Amino acid sequence: MTSPLLAVVKKELIDSLRDRRTLLAMILVPLLAFPILGVGVVSFARSKAEQANARVLKVAVVDPLGDSGVADHLAQQTGLQVERTSDISQLPARIQDESLDAAVTVDPTFQQNLGKNQPGGVTLIYRSSEDFEVARKRIHSGLESLEQTILADRFKNAGLDLSFVRGIDVQEHDITGARERLGKLIGGLLPYVFIAFCFTGCMYPAIDLGAGEKERGTLETLLTAPVPRRTLVLGKFLVVALAGVVSAVLAMVSLWFTMSYGGVQGLPKGALDAVVQLLDPVAIACVLALLVPLSAFFAGVLLMLSVYARTYKEAVSIISPLILAVFIPTLPAMLPGTKLTVATALVPILNVSLATRELLADTATPLHVALVFVSLVVLAAVSLVACTRWFAREDIVFRS
């Protein structure tokens, strides 16, 4: 004989899977999110950067006395086409209309200052909105090369070595591992994504199994079934929580597949190794373990709001603002200096974000992670109890 709870879960699960919005939010979006972001956006940005770096830049040089050597030196740099001109007034307009990429004006006292062992003055004119600021970086590189040549000649004439101007030689040794650096860098963003999928994965089934059933007129029929109301609520609760977990799992699978096969092409060997370490199965399993009670918490809250609404449209309008309330606590995890402590481990959503970041970076303290899990389980239990009591109120369920 089939358990009443399993029968309710089966019925609610079938109803949810019939809803296209639920399938889209729970399955399709998580699966496509990381391939689109990881392969599409990254590949597009990389190709644009490569195009910008490969482009030959047209640079105007204004040298009033023609004796600075700036134009000749820049002309020898790869990717720069130098145009000598004396018309300074038209340079900004030409850079604005993109007939020039940048311009350099040389101070008339350039050689005079060099003769006094003083720096020669130049002015770089460019547009900061230019893609990747390739012009500024490339010209700066050429001018720095010229400066090193001038300094080398100056020190040679003085019978000194360039090391004469260095009073201390600092050797840096960073003990931070590649995985920790990468984990801290993107570990604050990934929880944001996982929590987003967790919430949206729960949201549409919750709306459909509450307000949707009201609108279809099937909720009253369901409540007359010879099954305790708490069993009906638990069945709906489990289906909604399952949808959130499935959505998060699919997002993780999508991330793993994208990073392993499609999103890391062209990365240096060290960075590739760090990505592989970041996708450590144990860390991912721990993150998933935290998302399970979080999904249960979302399920209880969303079901309460859904059954309160009279129509599907009203439920959407009530629940949609919660997206902001869910995402705001994840923001501190993206900022440096925010750590997982006993205090932050008790703050809902923020604790998941911080714990995920620490787990991916392999710097998590087991006690703090355990505290996060326990606090989430308690929160999920409270939401289930509250949801059950909410469904027991006739004035809420049959609100008109």
- Nearest-10 Cα torsion for 33, 38, 40, 41: 100
Indicate the CATH number for domain 55-156: 3.40.1710.10
41 burial via Cβ count (<10 Å: 0-12, 13-18, 19+): exposed
Residue 140: the pLDDT is: 85
Rounded average pLDDT per 10-residue block, the chain, 400 residues: 69 68 64 62 62 79 88 87 88 87 90 86 81 76 86 82 73 66 66 85 89 83 80 90 89 75 51 59 85 93 90 86 83 77 90 86 87 94 91 77
The DSSP line for 71-111 is HHHHHTSTTEEEEE----TTHHHHHHTTS-SEEEEE-TTHH
On whether the CB atoms of residues 289 and 194 are closer than 8 A, the answer is: no
Question: Do the beta carbons of residue 194 and residue 360 sit within 8 Å?
Answer: no
Gap between the Cα atoms of 201 and 21, Å rounded: 10
Residues in the chain: 400
**Distance between CA atoms of residues 92 and 80, nearest Å:** 18
Angle at 121 (CA atoms; ends 119, 124), nearest 5 degrees: 135
d(CA 194, CA 288): 9
Q: Residue 340, SS3?
A: coil
Residue-wise pLDDT for 215-230, tens only, equals 888 877 777 778 788 8
What are the pLDDT digits (tens) for 85-129? 988 888 888 888 888 888 999 998 888 888 888 888 999 998 876
Assess contact for 303 and 208: CB atoms under 8 A: no
Cα 328 from Cα 148, distance rounded (Å): 49
Q: Are the beta carbons of 284 and 252 closer than 8 angstroms?
A: yes
In the block, tokens 């994840």 appear at 330
Residue 329 DSSP symbol: G
Domain boundary assignment for the chain: 4-36+178-397, 55-156
Q: What is the pTM assigned to this prediction?
A: 0.67
